[in-house]
Structure 1
């Protein structure tokens, strides 16, 4: 009888320990999910392009917060609106890669939109020496007029320069420089910067 009772006590203790681990892991996942889904999107009362309220570089050494840029319609035009994405970075280009994966997946909030065609894939990304090279699949060039084309280029340029606003952006499609975009023949003079985009390609 003693052996059976001892066995029962051990089994109960093991079950309690396993349950505690499951609850702890579940709680961590729930906390991470709630933190990811509740990231606020800044409003844009004035101005065409919003900037993040806090510098994204003031993060712990292993964590960065790049911004993904969506499009938001106003009374007279379209604005580029940043949404922060928290990334625990291990590799040098990982924060930007994560930002672009979020960008290509599309927005969640109903007030924001994207003109990047669904199915566009990130084929490659490299940020080095104040330059960002982005290689996208051919889906990026499909559909839409000049406004749609400029919107998607703006999203790429601003997302690519989220960690370095002065960087020069080179956009490739299937490994080839993107010089002309869309059926209306919108010409792109690469490399692109935020300043050049605002000046030459107004939304």
Structure 2
């Protein structure tokens, strides 16, 4: 009987020790997960897997192209796509995300589903989001070529892309650091600031 009692006591001690080790292991695991370098995840509902290892931003921003309906031009919104390693996914920085959108807007290829009235050599010089609105500075190529329809179309592309993260935002447009007041040989007046209410091109 005594040997049996000692045996039962030993088994009980082993069982208790096993429970302590298991709980201790869980505690260490939780500590390791909560400590150290923080793993930054993309904002919720911001990305979806795309083709070729790319991710599409679904929460914003968007770029705006033009679509010829035969009788008129319409604005065509398109989500931007970024490589899965692009830090725009984890930055949470609207300015960085909008800059990425403009970079893609200015690099539209001939295989794009939409058209662009923005001259192909146009470059983004600077973009800032301030309390007053979105400030976009483009290179001088933005002012070259095309008739009045082209001028209106490219202005609307800039306005809608710049306000894709905030449709009510004001847009301040400059060229080579100087506020753009007149556009093209016909002297199209450019109001400062601009908003979607100033756009000429209709939406789909």
TM-score bracket for this pair, using the shorter chain length: 0.5 to 0.7
Q: What is the CA distance between 1:85 and its match in structure 2? A: 1.2
- Structure 1 residue runs of 4+, over 6 Å off? none
| Separation (CA, whole Å) in 2 of partners of 1:196 and 1:74 | 21
- Aligned CA RMSD, in angstroms, stands at 2.3
Q: What is the CA distance between 1:108 and its match in structure 2? A: 5.5
Q: Call closer, same or farther: CA 1:164–1:108 in 2, change over 3 Å.
A: farther
1:34 to 52, 58, 79: 52
| Separation (CA, whole Å) in 2 of partners of 1:144 and 1:185 | 12
Bigger Rg, which one? 2
Alpha-carbon displacement from aligned partner over 1:112-144 (angstroms, at most 9, x marks no partner): 110111111110000122500000000000000
- Unpaired stretches in structure 2, ≥5 consecutive residues: 1-48, 82-87
- 1:138 corresponding residue in structure 2: 140
- 1:88 corresponding residue in structure 2: 89
- 1:66 corresponding residue in structure 2: 61
| Separation (CA, whole Å) in 1 of partners of 2:121 and 2:128 | 21
Aligned ranges 1:47-58 → 2 under 5 Å:
57=59
Q: Give the number of aligned pairs.
A: 147
Q: Which structure is higher in RCO with an 8 Å CA cutoff and minimum separation 6?
A: 2
- 1:123 corresponding residue in structure 2: 125
Q: Answer whether contact 2:95 2:128 (CA < 8 A) is retained.
A: yes
| Separation (CA, whole Å) in 1 of partners of 2:90 and 2:184 | 35
| Separation (CA, whole Å) in 2 of partners of 1:125 and 1:159 | 12
Aligned ranges 1:8-47 → 2 under 5 Å:
34=52, 36=54
Q: Answer whether contact 2:122 2:138 (CA < 8 A) is retained.
A: yes
> What TM-score does the superposition give when structure 2 sets the normalisation length?
0.65
| Separation (CA, whole Å) in 1 of partners of 2:156 and 2:140 | 17
Q: Answer whether contact 2:75 2:201 (CA < 8 A) is retained.
A: no
> What TM-score does the superposition give when structure 1 sets the normalisation length?
0.66
- Unpaired stretches in structure 1, ≥5 consecutive residues: 1-30, 40-54, 58-64
Q: Call closer, same or farther: CA 1:110–1:95 in 2, change over 3 Å.
A: closer
Q: Answer whether contact 2:73 2:201 (CA < 8 A) is retained.
A: no
